Structure 1
């Protein structure tokens, strides 16, 4: 078989695997229980017609109060995203993941608008319920990102849900997202959730209390 034919066959096989039901469950619901993946979260109503939804989660061995500060300081030019900075910065997102609480970024409130790189849409804070729920919506209304904190006997369940729609997008673009972007987003978001977990657990074990401010 010629190299081009081998590459084409490999591409078809990879696409088939990426679109299979087990693979989709894996990369769209990593870490989440069936109840978390299917259940409602505050902010779902901000984009009811989402065509792509992912719900991923991790257990943090710390109280919600140790997780919340890392969430509110996230963002471009702020506390970063706790994922692979070098990949984020290939797209000019100016992400530099912090390893400490940054007091200047702890006063987040509904209506605040955070940049997402030089060319992308900004993210507006739609829900800011301390130690419970943080919801962003892109200024082009195509993306809602929900963080929910739920205390349990082990500490905190940190749930991240992305609701995305692409108005007017053709089948080719949707296929590209399903085959490439959705699995790729798992790589980045898994790293982010584990990065928050590591930092929050370190904060939870710290002997020094951290005061987190609130505005609005």
Structure 2
């Protein structure tokens, strides 16, 4: 009986930790909400909702998001891991402010993997979609037949205006992959913790960037 109780307690602890990983910073209402882009992935096998409050209005946060991409401003996360070691931009770059639905954003510096801008609705919603065949390690067109081994999902950024020139940024991911028995273990041990680490880094860097932009310029004498 003691062993059974210990295993039950361990299982409950693991489940609680996983929920914290998947829902970092989000309220129960944000976790339960449905967002634009959720339905783009049918029969999903996983979903996460993370959130942060940023010290700038959505109109000031949006330019940082819309210029993301390995071939653009980077991802504001751990650049050595997801941007080929190239530092992410620390300023808004006008030439990267134009983004239309259907445009590709390189996810890797070699362009083998890319996101497609699925929903672009400034300054409130940016949803990026990725479909990757695991056998080739390259993106594929989801309108064709699915590979036997694949990962596909959406990475959505949802901005809501708060009082006092602030933004509530909710990041929702929805995905599915195959083969499930193998990928379920990978998601739990690698994918979900890695997403948390990268997303929290991005949140912190976005906060620093929008705060620095909002500071008054130093006076010159």
Match of 1:85 in 2: 79
Residues in 2 aligned to 1:199 and 1:62: alpha-carbon distance in whole angstroms: 10
Match of 2:181 in 1: 171
1:17 touches 1:23 (CA, 8 Å); kept in 2?
Answer: no
Q: CA RMSD in A?
A: 2.3
Match of 1:109 in 2: 100
1:103 is displaced (CA, Å) by: 0.9
1:105 is displaced (CA, Å) by: 0.4
Q: Which moved more, 1:73-82 or 1:95-104?
A: 95-104
1:34 is displaced (CA, Å) by: 0.8
Match of 2:58 in 1: 64
**1:172-211 correspondence to structure 2 within 5 Å:** 172-206=182-216
Count of residue pairs the alignment pairs up: 190
1:145 touches 1:161 (CA, 8 Å); kept in 2?
Answer: yes
The change in CA–CA distance for 1:18 and 1:175 in structure 2 (over 3 A counts) is farther
1:190 is displaced (CA, Å) by: 0.5
Give the strand-richer structure, 1 or 2: 2
The change in CA–CA distance for 1:104 and 1:180 in structure 2 (over 3 A counts) is same
Gaps of 5+ in 2: 1-6, 132-139, 143-151
Residues in 2 aligned to 1:119 and 1:174: alpha-carbon distance in whole angstroms: 27
TM-score, normalisation: structure 2: 0.78
1:62 is displaced (CA, Å) by: 1.0
Match of 1:74 in 2: 68
1:19 is displaced (CA, Å) by: 7.8
Residues in 2 aligned to 1:177 and 1:60: alpha-carbon distance in whole angstroms: 29
Alignment match of 1:125 (pick from 117, 121, 127): 117
Q: Does 1:162 align with 2:173?
A: yes
Match of 1:99 in 2: 90
2:71 touches 2:105 (CA, 8 Å); kept in 1?
Answer: no
1:60 touches 1:197 (CA, 8 Å); kept in 2?
Answer: yes
Gaps of 5+ in 1: 1-12, 208-216
Match of 1:7 in 2: none
TM-score, normalisation: structure 1: 0.80
